[in-house]
Amino acid sequence: MDEKRIEWEGDSYQAIGGFPEQARRDAGFQLGLIQAGRTPINWKPMPSIGVGVQEIRINAGGAYRIIYIARYLEAIYVLHAFQKKSVRTQKKDVDLAKKRLRAVERRRSRI
């Protein structure tokens, strides 16, 4: 089975590049699992953002999150990546992921 490609929305790729080294390694490993059709080790669903949206949870010298959707056949869409600084995911992070999901859905509707 071929690995699914990753589509990076907005600054999500650059955001992961700004994570500390161990968090970047963990992010790459978890995304590799998803590309291979497997389940990431530490994740949770994010239905408040959209159906099928999930969050990878990385704890490496801080709390880091990667919000993505992998339900489409053609790609995994990484919607947002950020350092989490509070117990609840901040509204600005949820809103940004929703906005990027809508953009993905608009692009896909033209295919």
Q: What is the pTM of this model?
A: 0.94
CATH number for the domain including 85?
Answer: 3.30.2310.20
Q: How many domains does the chain have?
A: 1
Per-residue pLDDT of the chain (111 residues; tens, 9 = 90+): 578 999 999 999 999 999 999 999 999 999 999 999 999 999 999 999 999 999 999 999 899 999 999 999 999 999 999 999 988 899 999 999 999 999 999 999 886
Range of the domain at 28: 5-109
- HEC string of the chain equals CCCCEEEECCCHHHHHHCCCHHHHHHHHHHHHHHHCCCCCCCEEECCCCCCCEEEEEEECCCEEEEEEECCCCCEEEEEEEEEECCCCCCHHHHHHHHHHHHHHHHHHHCC
